[in-house]
Structure 1
């Protein structure tokens, strides 16, 4: 890898890192932020949802627009939007101004992520260099989410919640200043047309689905708004599949998903990202609301996890080299499921050490799963289709981070409300809701691990036959 290639990788990973940071840096600051801006407790979820909606909903659309108009150009536009929105959020004078900043941040992230991944795959040719670059990128994305929890706690306690948005502003300016000199323009050689029906259905479907899950966390799954938007979202996503099966230049190649390594690899990626980000979110709630730890103390717990995650990312390529990507993927998923399940032993008075050990070793498995699923999902794909394959890898990461938290936090919120109605105290009810969601989280990862093992074994047997 040349010095220039290393600098480009550093730049693209830095851009991915700050978008991942933005997903979590405010989580531990929400109570303080709400008091400062005068937001009701029930409205605090919109600090997360306002970012999640556009960042997940517009991901595929901006990836295709970048193919048409230039990836470098759109990457710079996304960085500029993200940075300006971070400044607005840091200076917000009202809930409306803050949420507007968060929404534009999400829009910027929806541009940065797919264009950054496309620039990465066009910079590094298929083979060991690309696999290494994808592994580093995936590790950085996951660590950004974790480190965001740590920085959020430390900065909120020491400098106030606005400092977290200020950090993103400074980081955005730094990346934006370096990008023009390092990046060269890249676009699809055939300048594909935008698949308008596909863009409308997938964007509308993801926006509706994320809104429904986020609203369910506050109002329950039985609320009319939730039911309507959930049905609309699922209907639009089904329509998207139909549209893509007939489109000449689809946003997502359905024939690509018929490759077992691509399909099962991306299912593993979607699952590991969605479920691990949810574990971190639920543990933040547990540590602050049940054990009454400060934002700073909560950040320190996740700091240990961050150190182990960094180590896991470093050794993962060696593990893959010895065991193979598929076996490492399955071990990673099972480790994540097993150590998430240990968190069912959390209590209302004690549990900090169990939380620290459980989330730390679950993260080790998660990092192994991240790096190995990227290799698995792009293996055996012809050079001409590598862009489509890596695009699916990126989409799995971003959609996973976006949908996991609202889905299982809605389950937790509904169970907490039911326990409170039955007379349980606040701490006991909150713990009950958290443990229910953690149990579902661990079970889902374990089931997917079994399915992926069977699917990939069938794929290997088919090729031998």
Structure 2
């Protein structure tokens, strides 16, 4: 790569690392936030839900905006908003201000993330160079998720407000660097095109309601959850009808004919659902059952961050030798192994007993995240790269929401009794959820391998790049 290309890659990798750590750091700071601001459990949950709604709900809109209005322009504007409202969150003196700040921060990330990914996929031509760039980008992004707990624990030990102030500092550095290294490009030619406002409103409403229904499933009655999801499906049907009739659709429905893209998004839902559910349970196990401190729990998860080192260095070599799909499949296998190894967790388990599971999770991220990103974006037209990135990260966010909701529901149901050992039994029962998600992802990975071979055999000229 040229020096300018390295600069672009480092800045955008820093942005996806920022986004990953922002999510993970907050999770471990929540108890301190509740104590300091005197929040109820419901209000505390909304601090998480507000970000998820802003991020997951507006991701497709953000991806399409990047394609239509200019990727650099959208990325920089979103980064500025992210910076400002992250700082507002750190200054919040009440729950309402913090919840509002988190929603806008999530919304900014929904525009920043697909714009950043599409800058990479359009800067580097499809092939080995783009694959290497996406491996580095994916590895550093995955490191944000895995190292966020560690960083968040250390910052929370000083003051929970640093969980919000630290991203402000990093955002400012990235903003200055982005202005210097991300090249300006010609404004996209939108002559004869109109922004699909109705499509944007309906799909955003559908995704927001769907994420809200899943996120709040363990806190409201089944009737409210059913009504919310039903309303989401109605809006989704309206969106499909609108997209079929409009001359300039927000989401060209034909993009879903790409088998690799569709399977990558389904795997993304399962992979992130399993990871976030497992992370949630491990933190509860360490802090509530074992009585470990925030810092001890954070440092225990440090080994998961090996992907920051291995993903940019080892994974590209494996991909060059074996291909994206086999490496992805190996990563999914390590995820399933990680969750299975933690199932026998006992009330007196040593850290050495936990270590194989945590190392396996780090290897899962090392091998899965980058190839999954490549598969989801290869073979997609340049003018739809923002949309492809938006779809993938919407899948990640929805997977995280549904994974957390599912493990929380199973954990609560399994610990309903006061019998000795009920808490540990609840954790073990809930661990079956991420395990099932990982196993299903492995099955889809095998289908991807077969589909990849069939598509290469039947339509090599058209679909080789998508594999």
RMSD: 2.3
- The answer to whether residue 129 in structure 2 is matched with residue 129 in structure 1 is yes
Note the alpha carbon deviations across 1:386-418, whole angstroms, 9 max, x for none: 45356424532x224422343233333333433
Structure 1 residue 462: Cα displacement: 4.6
Match of 1:271 in 2: 270
The answer as to whether partners of 1:70 and 1:185 remain within 8 angstroms in 2 is: no
- Identify the range of structure 1 (62-71 vs 239-248) with the bigger mean alpha-carbon deviation: 239-248
Note the alpha carbon deviations across 1:91-134, whole angstroms, 9 max, x for none: 11111111122112112111211211222222222222211112
Match of 1:360 in 2: 359
Note closer, same or farther for the CA distance 1:272–1:410 as it changes in structure 2 (3 Å cut): closer
Q: Secondary structure at the match of 1:93?
A: coil
Structure 1 residue 444: Cα displacement: 2.1
Match of 1:113 in 2: 113
Structure 1 residue 420: Cα displacement: 4.4
Note closer, same or farther for the CA distance 1:217–1:143 as it changes in structure 2 (3 Å cut): farther
Note the alpha carbon deviations across 1:65-100, whole angstroms, 9 max, x for none: 233332222222111111111111111111111112
Note closer, same or farther for the CA distance 1:71–1:160 as it changes in structure 2 (3 Å cut): same
- Identify the range of structure 1 (387-396 vs 74-83) with the bigger mean alpha-carbon deviation: 387-396
- Residues 27-426 of structure 1: matches in 2 within 5 Å? 27-157=27-157, 159-186=158-185, 187-190=187-190, 192-219=193-220, 222-350=221-349, 352-379=351-378, 381=379, 385-388=381-384, 391-396=387-392, 398-424=393-419
Structure 1 residue 238: Cα displacement: 4.0
Distance 2:277 2:410 in 1: 16
State the TM-score, normalized to the length of structure 2: 0.90
Distance 2:410 2:62 in 1: 37
The answer as to whether partners of 1:89 and 1:101 remain within 8 angstroms in 2 is: yes
State the TM-score, normalized to the length of structure 1: 0.91
Structure 1 residue 39: Cα displacement: 0.7
The answer as to whether partners of 1:416 and 1:429 remain within 8 angstroms in 2 is: no
Structure 1 residue 300: Cα displacement: 0.5
Unaligned 5+ runs, structure 1: none
Note closer, same or farther for the CA distance 1:415–1:67 as it changes in structure 2 (3 Å cut): closer
Distance 2:371 2:319 in 1: 7
The answer as to whether partners of 2:269 and 2:399 remain within 8 angstroms in 1 is: no
Unaligned 5+ runs, structure 2: 459-467
Note closer, same or farther for the CA distance 1:250–1:442 as it changes in structure 2 (3 Å cut): farther
Note closer, same or farther for the CA distance 1:433–1:205 as it changes in structure 2 (3 Å cut): farther
Q: Secondary structure at the match of 1:209?
A: helix
- Identify the range of structure 1 (209-218 vs 77-86) with the bigger mean alpha-carbon deviation: 209-218
The answer as to whether partners of 2:140 and 2:308 remain within 8 angstroms in 1 is: no
Structure 1 residue 53: Cα displacement: 0.7
Match of 1:464 in 2: 457
Match of 2:435 in 1: 442
The answer as to whether partners of 1:136 and 1:313 remain within 8 angstroms in 2 is: yes
Distance 2:304 2:291 in 1: 20
Structure 1 residue 460: Cα displacement: 1.9
Match of 1:432 in 2: 425
Q: Secondary structure at the match of 1:125?
A: coil
Structure 1 residue 148: Cα displacement: 1.0
- Identify the range of structure 1 (62-71 vs 237-246) with the bigger mean alpha-carbon deviation: 237-246
User: What is the aligned length?
Assistant: 456
The answer as to whether partners of 2:306 and 2:362 remain within 8 angstroms in 1 is: no
Match of 1:6 in 2: 6
The answer as to whether partners of 1:28 and 1:153 remain within 8 angstroms in 2 is: yes
Distance 2:321 2:6 in 1: 25
Distance 1:267 1:5 in 2: 31
The answer as to whether partners of 2:121 and 2:385 remain within 8 angstroms in 1 is: no
The answer as to whether partners of 1:121 and 1:387 remain within 8 angstroms in 2 is: no
